[in-house]
Structure 1
Amino acid sequence: MKAMLLAVAALLLVVGEGTAERILSRRTRRELASPLHLEGIRDPYGSYCQRRGGCCPGRDDMCTVPYLDTICYCDLFCNRTVADCCPDFWGHCLGVQPPFIGTCERNGNKFLTGQTYKENCNLCTCGSTGRWECEQNACMIEADMIQGVNRGRYGWRAANYSQFYGMTLDEGLRYRLGTQRPSRTILNMNEMQMNMDPQSEQIPLYFNSVEKWPGKIHEPLDQGNCAASWAFSTAAVASDRISIQSMGHMTPQLSPQNLISCDTRNQGGCAGGRIDGAWWYLRRRGVVTEECYPFSPPQQTPVEVARCMMQSRSVGRGKRQATQRCPNTYNYHNDIYQSTPPYRLSSNEKEIMKEIMDNGPVQAIMEVHEDFFIYKSGIYKHTDVSFTKPPHYRKHGTHSVRIIGRHTLSPLLCGPRQTPHFPLVLLLRQPQ
């Protein structure tokens, strides 16, 4: 026999050696399992300790009764933790009333103390006083912000996007954008000036690259919760430029995943990166197509970087050749596509439009505010609808996009929808 001294109710319990081993193997610590909760058992009725035939002194990890899909305790130690006591423990073992378990109401439903209810991006817990205790996170989608924009005269309309519902604003900025602020390399680039004759060259009120170059402008890809707009926008612009400059002989949709996984020098993959680094990689190393190396959203956390599945080697004169097969079983075309160096355009709006009309889509870096996630149509500008809220409701981040044209109601077009005009914009293009 093995003696075990337990400092519980000053009782000395003698436990057999074999029993002790079974105890340790079954339950080394008191873990809470559903439906056991921090505020106590959730079923206030039923016969448990009474059915067992008695209560155990001190702490006895074998003093249990089956309870739904877990177990509850009938030893005196459970009263110290409350959470794992059987529902009739207090009345049968101690002869007292059980602890008060309050209720809260939400949308016509009753919740017991300790139960939770998620409303948008905030988790609410039913408190012991019957009141909800909710987190105070700013959400990506706020109903009052949508209403405020649509009631005001801001020049654009807002909408509710269900895929963003339930995400916090911090998560939106962290996972849905992904371009670092312009680096010194970009800021030191000389602006290219477009030679425009104001009399002979008029900018039309409407222009769409899709219509001028049919079959050469690619559909946008969904980056999901991968903060890699630096890779998606670069791959999109390069894809369109290659298609246009080759007159449709090559129409590759380049792989953002190739950049995300393989361009790791000072880059963060799905945790953000720099567009100048992406263009450097595209020029020096090259990438394959999306069909060859498809996008694979992060499974666990957006900051993880999947292992690079594509390598290339030089074959002379700056050209490169893949040294691995496509990382899928249904495509064997692992051609490497490279770009020429990028250039910075003037921030003059007409020169940007002229560049798009002559040579195709361009890339832009822009500042994104909390209200951009609800943007639907019109000419975007940051609003004051959140100015009366606490500071954590007013945040911003950096994003990069592909601009494909101009709309009569909006100076610039990005992807399939109207895109807002941004007074401070940096653009890169791939020259002919």
Structure 2
Amino acid sequence: MWQCPLGLLLLLSLPGHVALGAQQGRGRRELAPGLHLRGIRDAGGRYCQEQDLCCRGRADDCALPYLGAICYCDLFCNRTVSDCCPDFWDFCLGVPPPFPPIQGCMHGGRIYPVLGTYWDNCNRCWQAGNHSAFWGMTLDEGIRYRLGTMRPSSSVMNMHEIYTVLNPGEVLPTAFEASEKWPNLIHEPLDQGNCAGSWAFSTAAVASDRVSIHSLGHMTPVLSPQNLLSCDTHQQQGCRGGRLDGAWWFLRRRGVVSDHCYPFSGRERDEAGPAPPCMMHSRAMGRGKRQATAHCPNSHVNNNDIYQVTPVYRLGSNDKEVMKELMENGPVQALMEVHEDFFLYKGGIYSHTPVSLGRPERYRRHGTHSVKITGWGEETLPDGRTLKYWTAANSWGPAWGERGHFRIVRGVNECDIESFVLGVWGRVGMEDMGHH
């Protein structure tokens, strides 16, 4: 038996200042801490509905016991969003709650409330946490602003796959991490902020590592996602989404500069704001090489070298093929479906938990994202079975997940992560091997 934190699904909290302001002037009804200050949502969820209770204005007797505290079903609670009962918005107002309601943990056909630890032969446990970067965001906004890779067209999805043949008797190691094989050449995750530009971030991330590996460390650039976001405009939409095939075409034919030279300008949630115009173009120098036509947008940096790659190729979706490619040539790019629970990932081996199955469709929305796979491993479970996983870097900054990385179940196409995996070679000539 093993203690398994099944009840760790916490929810995106509301902005701190809203909840803190709510606690002031609460008088004798003040809760410490406010029920929703931490965004915690109860699994049962039937409070107002169970008692058929919905009071107008402030009514202190419109209260119910709630997980060792008290929650309210009166309209006053909605002004503070700190002590409403979990189903107040649904039942009394007929509107979605101000944060996506996850109904606790579904396990073995039962829903377990949060805030508990349950004993079980737990086979897939990952921890959820509360990420301040997402405070105040709805699930819709998370999908709109934090992802940003469009599903490839059918012609791109039908790209010829390159099959890697394992030699007879060849055994791949049970664990591998790119940063251990290539120290100092694997770059840390960047943060795309509220820019739906994972198409540019994951492409730049994989290209940075591969240029570094294939130049044997003579070039170790962090390549610029902003260069792609602003300048790769053919059928791409910058911070509103883009396609991987278009990003790789641009890196091959036009090239990009370093992130230092062309830094990320960030993007807040402003649908109407125009994308920053392109500040860098490149021109052919012969032999397929290119040079920048302008100084770096960052005026403190002089090095405006253009980095390019060879044509992108698609790997077979068998995990062994991806593993061999990763081990021999460096990190790869993968498409994946992001569900509501992935935003809350804090650690462990992720697999999508369908906790919101019984909820209306708006709570189960998902979107396409792209990430950099950096390695793999496996864990032995208490019942003796083996759980295999990928390690991958996201682009939501170092505070998310395991220092910006995550682990996800391997070999079963979890969240489509094995359905469209790409590799590429850095374009490196002999002349690049000396002067950098």
Mark yes or no: TM-score above 0.5.
yes
Amino acid in the other structure paired with 1:411: Y
Distance in 2 (alpha carbons) for counterparts of 1:161 and 1:113: 26
Say whether residues 1:103 and 2:103 are aligned partners: no
The aligned residue for residue 358 of structure 1 is: 328
Say whether residues 1:241 and 2:213 are aligned partners: no
The aligned residue for residue 421 of structure 2 is: 427
Say whether residues 1:156 and 2:125 are aligned partners: yes
Cα 1:136–1:330, aligned 2, differ >3 Å: closer, same or farther? same
Q: Is the 8 A contact 1:140 1:172 kept in 2?
A: no
Instruction: Give the drift of 1:103.
Output: 3.2
Instruction: Give the drift of 1:117.
Output: 3.0
Instruction: Give the drift of 1:378.
Output: 3.6
Structure 1 counterpart of 2:79, from 116, 133, 142: 116
Distance in 2 (alpha carbons) for counterparts of 1:161 and 1:303: 29
TM-score, normalised via structure 1 length: 0.68
Cα 1:178–1:138, aligned 2, differ >3 Å: closer, same or farther? farther
Instruction: Give the drift of 1:231.
Output: 0.5
Cα deviation per residue 1:234-254 (whole Å; 9 max; x = unaligned)?
Answer: 000000000000000000000
Q: How many residues are treated as equivalent by the alignment?
A: 326
Cα 1:137–1:286, aligned 2, differ >3 Å: closer, same or farther? farther
Cα deviation per residue 1:357-398 (whole Å; 9 max; x = unaligned)?
Answer: 000000000112122222233433322311121221111111
Say whether residues 1:144 and 2:138 are aligned partners: no
Amino acid in the other structure paired with 1:413: T
Amino acid in the other structure paired with 2:153: S
Instruction: Give the drift of 1:294.
Output: 0.9
Look up the SS of the partner of 2:208 in the other structure.
helix
**1:369-408 counterparts in 2 under 5 A?**
369-408=339-378
**1:12-411 counterparts in 2 under 5 A?**
102-103=57-58, 116-118=79-81, 133=93, 135-137=95-97, 139=99, 142=102, 144=104, 153=122, 155-163=124-132, 164-199=134-169, 201-301=170-270, 304=273, 305-409=275-379, 410-411=388-389
Distance in 1 (alpha carbons) for counterparts of 2:218 and 2:162: 28
Cα deviation per residue 1:200-250 (whole Å; 9 max; x = unaligned)?
Answer: x21111100000000100001011111111100000000000000000000
Amino acid in the other structure paired with 2:210: R
Look up the SS of the partner of 1:202 in the other structure.
coil
Instruction: Give the drift of 1:154.
Output: 5.8
Look up the SS of the partner of 1:379 in the other structure.
strand
Q: Answer with 140-149 or 163-172: which moved more.
A: 140-149
Amino acid in the other structure paired with 2:79: T
The aligned residue for residue 61 of structure 1 is: none
Look up the SS of the partner of 1:408 in the other structure.
strand
Cα 1:115–1:189, aligned 2, differ >3 Å: closer, same or farther? closer
Look up the SS of the partner of 1:116 in the other structure.
helix
Look up the SS of the partner of 1:166 in the other structure.
coil
Larger radius of gyration: 1
Distance in 1 (alpha carbons) for counterparts of 2:147 and 2:82: 24
Amino acid in the other structure paired with 1:103: R
Distance in 1 (alpha carbons) for counterparts of 2:126 and 2:407: 11
| CA RMSD of superposed structures (Å) | 3.2
Percentage of identical aligned residues = 51
Using CA pairs below 8 Å that are at least 6 residues apart, which structure has the higher relative contact order?
2
Instruction: Give the drift of 1:419.
Output: 3.3
Q: Is the 8 A contact 1:140 1:373 kept in 2?
A: no
Instruction: Give the drift of 1:142.
Output: 4.2
Q: Structure 1: any 5+ residue segments left out of the alignment? A: 1-100
Instruction: Give the drift of 1:346.
Output: 0.0
Q: Is the 8 A contact 1:138 1:393 kept in 2?
A: no
The aligned residue for residue 55 of structure 1 is: none
The aligned residue for residue 6 of structure 2 is: none
Distance in 2 (alpha carbons) for counterparts of 1:406 and 1:143: 31
Q: Structure 2: any 5+ residue segments left out of the alignment? A: 1-55, 64-69, 107-111, 380-387, 394-404, 427-436
Look up the SS of the partner of 2:248 in the other structure.
helix
TM-score, normalised via structure 2 length: 0.67
Cα 1:354–1:118, aligned 2, differ >3 Å: closer, same or farther? same
